[in-house]
């Protein structure tokens, strides 16, 4: 199922390393990988211990790593916090901007949709600075880097309901981090 064609659930923090099945203890650092099925385009979150990730653990075919970020296993009694952590969102944004595969895809691809909505969220959180639009792209810069050339993000032409769906999925992917 394509990210931009509808909504589907993406699991929250699992609490276990996918490679070793060991429980990830509260306060323990881990790697969350967002994996994409090469067959269906489905996205799945998979959590790994730092050691398993360092030893080369990755999703197996037909899955490939779409993006990854570092998190900290939450305490069961921790207070609820906003689902979208700005630092993690910026890390994911950087990966999507630098990923050459995204550059080669059509503007309607799931990665373009994710990158576009993530950009809008980061502008709203003031982590990115909006510099206008040009030829179907929005121009942004990282906060504090106003002198750097703006980053061009292609507008994939999503309607408001699709943007809301992608934003909801993005929140679900990033939930569970500290």
Segment 30-49 mean pLDDT: 86
Is residue 70 within 8 A of residue 174, CB to CB? The reply is no
What pLDDT sits at residue 171? 64
Round to whole Å and give the CA distance between 21 and 32. 14
Tell me: pLDDT of 91 over 50.
yes
Round to whole Å and give the CA distance between 68 and 150. 24
The pLDDT-based confidence of 101 (bands split at 50, 70, 90) is low
Say what the pTM is: 0.52
pLDDT in tens, 5-21: 333 446 688 899 999 99
Q: What is the DSSP letter of 25?
A: P
The sign of the CA dihedral 111, 32, 18, 44 is negative
């Amino acid at each position: 199922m394509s990210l931009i064609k509808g909504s589907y659930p993406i699991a929250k923090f699992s609490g276990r390393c996918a490679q070793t099945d060991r429980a990830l203890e509260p306060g323990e650092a881990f790697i969350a990988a967002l994996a994409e099925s090469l067959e269906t385009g489905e996205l799945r979150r998979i959590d790994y211990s730092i050691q398993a990730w360092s030893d080369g653990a990755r999703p197996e075919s037909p899955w490939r790593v779409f993006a990854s970020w570092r998190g900290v296993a939450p305490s069961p009694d921790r207070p609820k916090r906003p689902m979208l952590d700005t630092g993690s969102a910026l890390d994911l944004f950087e990966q999507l901007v630098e990923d050459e595969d995204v550059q080669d895809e059509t503007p309607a691809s799931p990665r373009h949709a994710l990158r576009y909505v993530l950009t809008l969220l980061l502008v709203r959180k003031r982590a990115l600075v909006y510099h206008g639009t040009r030829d179907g792209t929005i121009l942004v810069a990282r906060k504090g880097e106003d002198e750097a050339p703006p980053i061009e993000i292609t507008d994939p032409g999503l309607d408001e309901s699709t943007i809301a769906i992608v934003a909801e999925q993005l929140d679900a992917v990033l939930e569970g981090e500290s």
